[in-house]
Amino acid sequence: MATILHKSKAIKLAGLSLAIFLVACTSNQRYKRQVSGDESYLNTLPLKNLTIPQGISLPLQNGEYDIPPANQNGAVGKALDIRPPIQALSLLSDTHTENSLTASRLFLTNTAENSALWSQINAILQQKMIKVRQKNDPDHSLITDWITWPRVDEDIAIQTRQKIQLNPQNNQIVIMVTNEGIKQGEDSITDQAEIQRYNILMLNELIDSINKLRSTATSSGAQDCYAIIDVQTGSDSSGLPQIIVRAPYDVVWDRLPSVLESIGIQVGDRSRSTGSITLTFNGMSDSDWQAIGVDNPTMTKGDYKLQVGDMNNRSSLQFMAVKGTTLTQKQNDEMVSALKAAFSKVSSN
């Protein structure tokens, strides 16, 4: 009995040790940026000068294949950081970026669209809850408080303080990000590669947010311009019936789910890039159709595919059954009436 208890305690102790070991391993995230595999290359012997035996003449020296001396001061083995370098995002039109070890810059054209950049930057920082430690509005410069950058490949999150400055240069406006401090826990970091990494990350936060602001403004403007959308009957290049919506693709695509569901069509999978939508036509009651001023269409209930086409300032819609057949001309004209009423109803809400 004592032997059994002794073995039980030993097993429990071994299990506890294993659990502690696994927890310790999972909490250390450095493996995510370390070389994994054979490190025998570290034992490679250094290159030696060729010893020429006496009496042998060699061709004239050609430096084309010379191997330059390697830098022996860099990190190797597990100390080498294999994470790819961070690159500035290319989201804004008519812009370009420049990165050095000390600064990351975004160059924009000096246009009316970019005249509100300073107020947008301040709004972005406020939205992201990044505190500002020091600000000079006339000079268009500020220094943030400590920003925490949580990353899955860091045991302790790195914190930085960034200087952001807006500089007009001839016909350009430059957003420049530099570092005012970087630390991990209580340890300061002086590695220039890390400083550059987080300068670019800060610049990317600004680029991404500015792009979202502009996309939202463009979308809102487009929606306002197309408050009332007209729908007409048409045909494709093969003469098959289709529906023409007199609004750009983006506007139509965003409104289609609400429009279709308002006339008894359940929306399934959607692919914006291909303009494909899977649908199920469930229909509505006669009283519901009468409420929007449309007769009950003769389109058969069931599954369909809707193909949305981009025609610049217009869009095309073509309903196809599972077998690939399109609606008849009569069914297509009925759906034109239904969609015209639906677009009008959804647009007015």
Same fold, 95-223 and 231-347: no
Q: Residue 286 has which token pair?
A: 């006669």
Give the residue with greater pLDDT, 63 vs 271. 271
**Confidence at residue 221, expressed as pLDDT on a 0 to 100 scale:** 58
pLDDT digits (tens, 9 = 90+) for 123-172: 999 999 999 999 999 999 999 999 999 877 777 889 999 999 999 888 89
**Confidence at residue 205, expressed as pLDDT on a 0 to 100 scale:** 94
Whether 78 has a pLDDT exceeding 80, the answer reads no
- The arithmetic mean of pLDDT across residues 249-273, rounded, is 91
Whether 33 has a pLDDT exceeding 50, the answer reads yes
Does this model's pTM top 0.85? My answer is: no
CB under 8 A, 24+ apart: contacts of 291-294: 292/263, 292/338, 292/341, 292/342, 292/345, 293/341, 294/334, 294/337, 294/338, 294/341
pLDDT band of 19, cuts 50, 70, 90: very low
- First CA to last CA distance, the chain: 80
Pick the range with the lowest mean pLDDT from 77-91, 147-161, 194-208: 77-91
- The arithmetic mean of pLDDT across residues 38-45, rounded, is 77
| Mean pLDDT over each residue of the chain, to the nearest integer | 83
pLDDT digits (tens, 9 = 90+) for 211-236: 888 776 655 555 556 667 888 999 88
**Confidence at residue 237, expressed as pLDDT on a 0 to 100 scale:** 86
Which CATH number among 3.40.50.300, 3.40.190.80, 3.30.420.590, 3.30.310.170 corresponds to the domain 231-347?
3.30.310.170
Whether 244 has a pLDDT exceeding 60, the answer reads yes
pLDDT band of 190, cuts 50, 70, 90: very high
pLDDT above 70 as % of the chain = 83
Taking a C-beta distance cutoff of 8 angstroms, is the pair 101, 94 a contact? no
**Confidence at residue 92, expressed as pLDDT on a 0 to 100 scale:** 84
Q: Give the domain ranges of the chain.
A: 95-223, 231-347
**Confidence at residue 254, expressed as pLDDT on a 0 to 100 scale:** 87
**Confidence at residue 270, expressed as pLDDT on a 0 to 100 scale:** 92
| Closest-CA residue to 317 (of 233, 226, 258) | 233
Q: Residue 346 has which token pair?
A: 């959804």
pLDDT above 90 as % of the chain = 44
* CA angle 111–117–121, rounded 5-degree value: 165
Which CATH number among 3.65.10.10, 3.40.640.10, 3.30.530.50, 3.40.50.970 corresponds to the domain 95-223?
3.30.530.50
Whether 271 has a pLDDT exceeding 60, the answer reads yes
Give the residue with greater pLDDT, 69 vs 25. 69
Neighbours of 142 (CB within 10 A): 21
